[in-house]
């Protein structure tokens, strides 16, 4: 409980019970790992995220002509040459967006994910200003923010599922620390139309 007491000293507005949940869940929560050597900046993850999470048709090219253009929750930042770095919400232990939101629209769930109450968001963009990664994005049509929720409640984590080079994988952070993370095998993905459950085709299937 010592860590909980220290946590509450820095976050006086949070109870020891909520602090314990955050500390415990952050130890076991998996994270999206980026292998920058494998990322070729194809932006497949961006398209898959936008289609599966924000599009009404969930099809290309129909999504291009939708009244409200689909918006992605992951952004591929260029790193030089032909590589990129897919960037999404890191669900930080010390998330500045949680304290910056004046409407209480951002919260941390029991799994340690930082999520959004859409009905509470007032579109002030304070979370965007304080986020060191630029993860929250303005959805201007609705004057709300959207951010990566790690596809909570969805059939799959679409950016991870769609990556043709397996540059994105979902792993336990402790596997990295302990050295248990094994080198990734060459991907066998041969076809993709960006829509989950339909576009992933592998040899022999």
Give tens-digit pLDDT for 61-92.
899 999 999 999 999 998 877 889 999 999 99
Q: Is-contact 127 136, C-beta < 8 A?
A: yes
pLDDT at residue 182, rounded to an integer: 63
What's the pLDDT band for 178 if we cut at 50, 70, 90? confident
Give residue-wise pLDDT tens across range 118-174.
Answer: 999 999 999 999 999 999 999 999 999 999 999 999 989 999 999 999 999 888 877
pLDDT band at 181 (very low <50, low <70, confident <90, very high): low
Looking at the predicted structure, is the pLDDT value of residue 184 above 60?
no
The C-alpha R_g of the chain, in whole angstroms, comes to: 18
Residue of 82, 89, 50, 91 lying closest to 165 (CA atoms): 82
Q: pLDDT at position 60, please? A: 87
What residue spans define the domains of the chain?
A: 35-88+149-205
- Comparing 14-28, 84-98, 170-184, the range with the smallest average pLDDT is 14-28
């Amino acid at each position: 409980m010592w860590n909980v007491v220290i946590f509450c000293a820095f976050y006086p507005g949070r109870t020891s019970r909520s602090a314990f949940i955050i500390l415990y869940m952050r130890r076991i929560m998996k994270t999206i790992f980026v292998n920058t050597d494998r990322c070729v900046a194809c932006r497949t993850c961006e398209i898959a995220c936008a289609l599966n999470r924000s599009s009404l048709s969930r099809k290309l090219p129909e999504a291009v002509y939708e009244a409200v253009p689909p918006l992605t929750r992951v952004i591929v930042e260029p790193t030089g040459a032909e590589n990129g770095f897919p960037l999404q919400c890191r669900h930080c232990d010390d998330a500045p967006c949680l304290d910056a939101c004046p409407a209480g629209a951002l919260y941390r769930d029991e799994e340690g994910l930082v999520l959004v109450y859409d009905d509470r968001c007032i579109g002030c963009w304070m979370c965007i200003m304080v986020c060191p990664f630029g993860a929250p994005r303005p959805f201007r049509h609705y004057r709300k923010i959207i951010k990566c929720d790690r596809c909570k409640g969805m059939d799959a984590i679409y950016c991870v599922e769609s990556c043709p080079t397996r540059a994105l994988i979902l792993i336990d952070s402790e596997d990295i620390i302990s050295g248990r993370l094994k080198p990734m095998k060459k991907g066998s993905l041969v076809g993709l139309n960006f829509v989950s459950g339909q576009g992933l085709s592998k040899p022999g299937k």
